[in-house]
Structure 1
Amino acid sequence: MKGFFIILSLLITVKLFAAQKAAYSDSAAINTQRLFTRIDNLNNTAYRIYLNSPDSARRLAEAALLLSEKNNYLLGKGRSYYNIGLIYWSQSYYTISLFYLNSALNNLPKHSNLYLSDCFNALGRTYADLGNYNRALINLNKSLGLAGNDIGRLAEVFSEKSYVYCALKNYPQAIADALHALALHSGIKATGDIAILNARLAGIYKSKGDLKKALYYDNIALKMSRVIGNKRLRAKIYVEYAIINNSLNKYNEAINYAQKGIALADSIGLIDAQKDGFKSLVRSFEAKNDLKQALAYQKRYSSLNDSISNASKLKTAKLIENYHDLSAKISGIKLMEVSDRENKAKIKAQTNLIIFLSASLVVLIALLFVTWYLYKQKKLLSTKLEQQHKALLDQKVLIEAQTVNLQSVNGLKDKLLAVIGHDLRTPVANMSNIIELFNDEYLSATEISDLMREIRPIIKGAELTLSNLTEWAGSQIKGKNVNSINIDVFLLGVEMEQTFTHHLQQKNIEFINSAFPGQSVLADENHIKVILRNLISNAIKFTNNSGRITLSTAMEDNSIIVSVTDTGKGMSPEEVEKLFSLNTHFSNSGTSGERGTGIGLLLCKELVELNGGKLSVSSAISKGSTFYFNLPLVGAYA
C-alpha cells in the first residue's frame, strides 16, 4: 500500500509539471504576439513621420530594431533597417542609406514580397540620386515584379521610374510613367503621393522647357503639401518657383519665393534646397544689376558650401558613432539571447531531470549524468580559456608591431617638423624685416617692389613645401579617392611652363615640352599636376644656369611613359637607392643654394602609385637625372 501511494504521488507530480509547462507555453505565445504588434506599431509610426521628423523617426526605428533583434522577429528587423535607410535617404546620406536598405533585404523574410518590393523601390531611388541610373532601373524593375496587384506599390515604382527617365532626358517616358502613377494613386486617394507626383511632373516639364505646365503642376503640389504637412516638398517647390520666375524674368517674384524656400529648408535641415535658393537669389540680383546683393548672397552660398564641408565631417563622425552605438546594442542583445537560451536550456534540463528522477527514481543514473555533464562543461571551459589566452598573445604581438611602427612615424614627424620649421623661418623672417623697414620708412616703394621680386622664389618654395606637406599627409589616409579623367600631358606641360616661368628665367634654363599633343591618359588631374610640379621644381633646383629641362612622353603597350629630364648635377647610385625610402629619404641643396624637405618625391611616389603607375629614376653624377612614370592610355588611343 505504501508503494502504491508513492507511485500515485509521482504520477500526480509529473502531471502537474506537464500542465504548468503547457500553461507557460501559451502565456509566452500571447506575450510574443503582443511584442510583435508593438514592434510593428513603432515601425509604422517611424515610416509615417520620417519626412517631417527624421531624428524622432530614427529613434523609433532603432528601438524597433533592438526589440526585433532581442526577440528574433525577422520581419521587424527587416522593416526597421528599411525605415532607417529611408530616414538617411531623406537627409541625403545616400551611401549610408544603401547600407541599411541592403541590410533590410538580408533580413526580410523571403515570402514578404510587398515589403521586399518597398525595399527594392527605395534602393532604386537612392541609386538614382547617386546618378547610377542603370542600377536604379534594375532595382525598380525588381520592385515592380514583387509588387503584384498592390496598387499603391505599383504607383510608387512608376513614380520613381519617371524620376529616372527624367534624369536620362527621356521626357515622353518620364511623363507617361508619372501620369500612370498619378492615376493609380488617385484611385486609392493617396494624398501625400499625389502631391509628390505633381511636383515631379512640374520638374519634368521644367527640364523639358515647358514652364507653363511646370507652374500648373507646382501650384497643385504646393496646395497639397500644406494639407499633408510635407515641409520638405513645400521648401523645394518654393525654390522651383524662384527658378521658373527667373527664367520668366520675374525677378521680384523669384526673390520672394527663394527667400521663403531658404527659410523653410533651413528649419528642417534641407541643405540642397538652401543651396539652390541662394543660387537663384544671386541670379535674380545680378539680373536686376544689384551687384551688392548678388555678392552678399554669393558669399552666403559659398559660406554654406564651406559649412556643409565642415558639417559633413561632424555629421559623418556622428553617423559613425550612431552606427557603432547601434551595433554595440545589437551585439549586447545577441549576447543576452545566448545567455537567455543557455538559461532556458538549463531550466529545461533541470525540469526534465526532476521529472525523470521523480518518475523512474534512478538516482544513480541521474548522478552519473550530472557528473558527466559537469565534466564536459569543465573541458569546454578549459578549451575556451586556452583560446582566449592564445588570442591575448596574438594581440600582444600586434600591439608591439604597432608600437614600433608608431615610433618610426613619430621620428619621421619630428624630422619633417624640424626641416619645415627651418625652411619656413627664412621667408617669414625676410618678409617681417622688409615690413619693419618699410614701416620705419627706410625703404621706398620701388625698393620694396625690387625686394619682393627677389624674395618671390623663396616664398614660392615655402608655398610648395606647405603644399607638399598637405598633399603627403592626405595621401597617408587609407581610402584616398582617385578621380580619374582624360588628361592631355602636353597641355599640363604648357601649364607647368607658365607656372615656373620666373624660376626658369632666373637661372636661364630652357624648358622643352616634347610631350605628344592629343594623347589622353586616364588619371587624377590634381595628382598629376602635383607630380609634375614637384619633378620640374626639383629639376630647376638641381640644374645649373643655362641648363635644359625636357618633358617628354613615349608609348609602351597600353600605357604612356611620362619623363622629366634635366642636365643638372645628378646623383650617385647610393643616393638613388635612398631616394624613395620613408626612413632614408634626404634633401640636398640646389645649384643656387635652394633648400627642400625631401618630402616632394615621397609624395610623387604615393600619388603615382594611387593612379596605378610606378615612379622610377635614372641618374649619373654631373650628367643629370630623368624621373619617369607610367599612366594608362584612354581606350581610343590604346
Structure 2
Amino acid sequence: MRGFIILLSLLLIFKLSIAQPGQRSHIAGGKASSSHADIDNLNNVAYDIFLSEPDSARKIAENALLLSQKSNYSLGMGRSFYNIGLIYWSQSYYTISLFYLNSATNYLSLSHPMELSDCFNALGRTYADLGNYKQALVELNRSLSLAGNDTTRIAEVHSQRSYVYFAEKNYDKAIVTAQYALKLNLSVDATGNVAVLYARLGGIYRCKKNYRAALDYDDVAYDLSKKTFNKRLRAKMYVEYALINNELHKYDLAISYAKKGASLADSIGVVDAEAGAYNAMVKSYELKNDLQGALAYQKKYTAMNDSISASARLKTVKLIQNYYALNSKLEGIKLMEANDIENKAKIKAQTRLILILSVSLLVLISLLFVTFYLYKQKKILSSKLGIQHNALLDQKQLIEIQTADLQSVNGLKDKLLAVIGHDLRTPVANMSNIVEMFNDGYLNESEVGDLMKEIAPIIKGAELTLSNLTEWAGSQIKGRNVNSTNVDIFLLGVEMEQTFTHHLQLKNIEFVNQAYAGQSVLADENHIKVILRNLVSNAIKFTDNKGNIKLSTKIEGNSIVVSVTDTGKGMNRSEIEKLFSINTHFSHSGTSGERGTGIGLLLCKELVELNGGKLSVKSVVGKGSTFYFNLPLMGAYA
C-alpha cells in the first residue's frame, strides 16, 4: 500500500514538471510583449531629443539597445543602433556614426521598410559629410526605393541628393533637385525643411556668382528661420550675407553681417558658424587693406579653431570610452545569456533524470545510490551558480567605484576649464579692448606701448596657465615618457632668472641663484624646467615688493635636493595639506592680485615623481615658503 502511494505521488510530480514549461512560455510571452512596448517608447524619446540633448538621448538609446539584446527584439536593436548613429552624426563623429548605422541595417528587415529607408537616408548624408559622394548616392537610392509613397521621406532623400550635388559642385543638378525637394516639403507643410532648402539654394547661387538670386533665396530662408525660431540657421544666414557682400565689394556691410552672425552663434554655441563669421571678417578687412583689422580677427578665428580642436580631442576620448563601455555591456549580456541557457539546460536534464530515477526506485532499489550521486551534482552546480552570482556582485561594485572615480575626474576637469576660461578671458579681453581703442583713435602708439607693458605680466601668467594645462592634459590622455639626461640646476636657475626678469623688476624682488655650478642630476630637462618655472612663478606671485627668492641645492647621499625659498605670505597647515590633492587643490590670489588655477603644483608633483623624486613644502605664515624636491645625481658624482 505504501509503495502504491509513493508511486502515485511521483507520477503527479512528473506530470506537473511537464506542464510547467508551457505555462512559463505563456507568462514569458506576456512580459516580452510589454518589454517591446517599453523599448519602442525609449527609442521614440531618444529620437525626439537627439538634436537638443544628444548626451541624454545616447544614454536612453543605449539602455533600449541593452533591453532589446536581453529580450532578443530585432526591431528594437535596429532602431537603437539607428538612434545612436544619428546622435554621433549630429556631433560630427561621422566614422562612428557609420558603424552604428550599418549595424542598424543588420537588424531592420524589409518587413519594416520605413525604418530601413530612414537608416539608408542617414547613411547617405553621413557618407556625403565624409566626402564619399558616390557611396552617398548609392545609399540614398536604397532609401528612395523603400520610401514608397511617403512624401516626407521622398522629400528628405531629394534634399540630401541636392546636398551631394552641391558638394560635388554640380550646381545645375543641385538646383533642380533642391527645387523638387522644396516642392514636396511645401506640400506637406514641413516649414523647417523648407527654410533649410531655401538657404541651400542661396548658397548654390552664390557659388554660381548669381548674387541677386542668392540674396532672394537667402532673404526667404532668413524670414523662415525667425518664424521657426531656428537660431542656428539664422546665424549661418548672417555669415552667408557677409560672404555675398564681400563678393559685391560692400565690405563694411559684410563686416556688419559677420559680427551679427558671430554674436548669435556665440550665444547658442554654434562654433562652426562663429568661426565662419570670423573668417568672413578676415577676408573683408584684407580686401579693405585694413591689415590690423584682418590680423585681429585672424587671431580670433585661429583661437576658435584651436578651441574646437581641443574640445574635439576631449570628446573623442569620451566617445571611445562610451563605445567600449557599451560594447562590454553587450558582450556581458551575451555571455550571461549563454551561461543561463546552458545552466537551465543542465538543471532541466538533471531534474528529469532525478524524476526517472525516483520512479525506477520502486523497481530497482539499487539505483538509490545513483539518485543520491546526481543530487550531490545538483548541489555542486548550485554552489557554482552562487559563486558566479557573488562574482557578478563584485564586478558591479567595481563598476560603481570606477564610475565614482570618473565622475570625480570629470568634476575636476569642469572646475579647471571654468577657472582657466575665466583667467584667459581677462588678458584676451584686455588685448581686444586695446586693439579696438587703437583702431578707433582713442590711443596713440606710445599709450599702447605703456598699456602693453602693464598687461605683459598678465599675458605671461596666461601663457604659463596654457603651458601647464597642455602638459597636464597630455599626461592624462597619452601618458608620459621620461628622457633622462645630464641636467645642471645652476644653468637652469640662470635661465629662470632671465625668464622672469620683468616680473622680478615689477615687484623689485631679488633672485639669488645658490645652486652648485657643475653638479648635474639625472633627469628629464624639460620636466625640470616646467617644475622650476612653476615654483619660481608661484614664489614671485606670493612675495611682496622688495622681497627675495633663493634657488639652492645640497647633496644628501646619492641625491641632490633642489629648493626654492621665498619671503612671501606663507601658508598654514590646513592649506599645505590641500596643495597636492587632485580633489582638494586650491589657489590664492597673489600679493598683486595675480590669479592661478592650482594645476601648476599638481603638475610639478607628477613630474618630480616621474623623475624618481618627491616634492615637499615647508611654510610659515607671514615669513615665506620653501618648496624642495630630490633628484638622483649623475653616476660620476654619486
TM-score by length of 1: 0.54
Q: What's the counterpart of residue 319 of structure 1?
A: 319
Shift of 1:123: 1.9
- Closer, same or farther: CA 368–360 of 1 in aligned 2, 3 Å: closer
- Alpha-carbon deviations, 1:289-340, whole Å to 9, x = none? 6554433221110111222232232222121122222222223333333344
Whether contact under 8 Å (1:226, 1:234) holds in the other structure is yes
- Closer, same or farther: CA 167–19 of 1 in aligned 2, 3 Å: same
Whether contact under 8 Å (1:52, 1:232) holds in the other structure is no
SS at match of 1:118: helix
Whether contact under 8 Å (1:14, 1:359) holds in the other structure is no
- Closer, same or farther: CA 324–159 of 1 in aligned 2, 3 Å: same
Q: What's the counterpart of residue 189 of structure 1?
A: 189
Give me the whole-angstrom Cα distance separating, in 2, the residues matched to 1:115 and 1:293. 51
Q: What's the counterpart of residue 485 of structure 2?
A: 418
Shift of 1:349: 4.3
Q: What's the counterpart of residue 128 of structure 1?
A: 128
Give me the whole-angstrom Cα distance separating, in 2, the residues matched to 1:285 and 1:265. 21
Q: What's the counterpart of residue 310 of structure 1?
A: 310
Worse-superposed segment, 159-168 or 145-154:
145-154
Give me the whole-angstrom Cα distance separating, in 1, the residues matched to 2:244 and 2:45. 36
Q: What's the counterpart of residue 94 of structure 1?
A: 94
Matching of residues 102-113 of structure 1 within 5 Å = 102-109=102-109, 111-113=111-113
Shift of 1:353: 5.5
Q: What's the counterpart of residue 43 of structure 2?
A: 43
Whether contact under 8 Å (2:192, 2:228) holds in the other structure is yes
Q: What's the counterpart of residue 72 of structure 1?
A: 72
Q: What's the counterpart of residue 446 of structure 2?
A: none
- Closer, same or farther: CA 24–164 of 1 in aligned 2, 3 Å: same
2:328 is equivalent to residue 261 of structure 1 = no
- Alpha-carbon deviations, 1:178-206, whole Å to 9, x = none? 22222333333334333332322222222
Whether contact under 8 Å (2:114, 2:147) holds in the other structure is yes
Give me the whole-angstrom Cα distance separating, in 1, the residues matched to 2:164 and 2:143. 14
Give me the whole-angstrom Cα distance separating, in 2, the residues matched to 1:139 and 1:373. 59
Whether contact under 8 Å (1:242, 1:253) holds in the other structure is yes
Count of matched residue positions in the alignment of Structure 1 and Structure 2 = 406
Give me the whole-angstrom Cα distance separating, in 1, the residues matched to 2:333 and 2:90. 28
Matching of residues 176-215 of structure 1 within 5 Å = 176-215=176-215
Give me the whole-angstrom Cα distance separating, in 1, the residues matched to 2:88 and 2:485. 45
Shift of 1:102: 2.3
Whether contact under 8 Å (1:202, 1:215) holds in the other structure is yes
Give me the whole-angstrom Cα distance separating, in 2, the residues matched to 1:47 and 1:347. 42
- Alpha-carbon deviations, 1:91-122, whole Å to 9, x = none? 22222222222222334346443333322222
Shift of 1:26: 2.5
Give me the whole-angstrom Cα distance separating, in 2, the residues matched to 1:135 and 1:295. 41
Q: Partner amino acid for 2:159?
A: S
TM-score by length of 2: 0.54
Matching of residues 390-409 of structure 1 within 5 Å = none
Give me the whole-angstrom Cα distance separating, in 1, the residues matched to 2:100 and 2:155. 24
Shift of 1:19: 5.7
Whether contact under 8 Å (2:350, 2:378) holds in the other structure is no
Give me the whole-angstrom Cα distance separating, in 2, the residues matched to 1:175 and 1:246. 23
Whether contact under 8 Å (1:117, 1:147) holds in the other structure is yes
Matching of residues 465-614 of structure 1 within 5 Å = none
Give me the whole-angstrom Cα distance separating, in 2, the residues matched to 1:285 and 1:92. 31
Whether contact under 8 Å (2:282, 2:294) holds in the other structure is yes
- Alpha-carbon deviations, 1:522-581, whole Å to 9, x = none? xxxxxxxxxxxxxxxxxxxxxxxxxxxxxxxxxxxxxxxxxxxxxxxxxxxxxxxxxxxx
Whether contact under 8 Å (1:258, 1:278) holds in the other structure is yes
SS at match of 1:310: helix
Matching of residues 335-414 of structure 1 within 5 Å = 335-345=335-345, 348-349=348-349, 352=352, 368=370
Q: Partner amino acid for 2:169?
A: K
Worse-superposed segment, 13-22 or 46-55:
13-22
Q: What's the counterpart of residue 276 of structure 1?
A: 276
SS at match of 2:106: helix
Give me the whole-angstrom Cα distance separating, in 1, the residues matched to 2:243 and 2:69. 47
Shift of 1:256: 4.3
Give me the whole-angstrom Cα distance separating, in 1, the residues matched to 2:252 and 2:376. 85
What is the percentage of aligned positions where both structures have the same residue? 56
Q: Partner amino acid for 1:220?
A: V
2:150 is equivalent to residue 83 of structure 1 = no
Whether contact under 8 Å (1:51, 1:232) holds in the other structure is no
Whether contact under 8 Å (2:279, 2:301) holds in the other structure is yes
- Closer, same or farther: CA 353–372 of 1 in aligned 2, 3 Å: closer
- Closer, same or farther: CA 324–156 of 1 in aligned 2, 3 Å: same
Q: Partner amino acid for 1:330?
A: L
Gaps of 5+ in 2: 385-480, 506-525, 527-638
Shift of 1:279: 0.7
Give me the whole-angstrom Cα distance separating, in 2, the residues matched to 1:356 and 1:172. 81
Give me the whole-angstrom Cα distance separating, in 2, the residues matched to 1:69 and 1:130. 30
Give me the whole-angstrom Cα distance separating, in 2, the residues matched to 1:351 and 1:103. 40
Q: Partner amino acid for 2:128?
A: A
2:160 is equivalent to residue 160 of structure 1 = yes
Give me the whole-angstrom Cα distance separating, in 1, the residues matched to 2:15 and 2:187. 59
Shift of 1:47: 1.8
Give me the whole-angstrom Cα distance separating, in 2, the residues matched to 1:293 and 1:91. 32
Matching of residues 26-41 of structure 1 within 5 Å = 26-41=26-41
Give me the whole-angstrom Cα distance separating, in 2, the residues matched to 1:303 and 1:140. 37
- Closer, same or farther: CA 268–240 of 1 in aligned 2, 3 Å: same
Worse-superposed segment, 217-226 or 4-13:
4-13
Gaps of 5+ in 1: 383-412, 440-465, 467-638
SS at match of 1:209: coil
Q: What's the counterpart of residue 461 of structure 2?
A: none
Q: What's the counterpart of residue 572 of structure 1?
A: none
SS at match of 2:118: helix
Shift of 1:151: 2.8
Q: Partner amino acid for 1:277?
A: A
SS at match of 2:485: helix
2:137 is equivalent to residue 137 of structure 1 = yes
Shift of 1:270: 3.2
SS at match of 1:418: strand
SS at match of 1:279: helix
Q: What's the counterpart of residue 477 of structure 2?
A: none
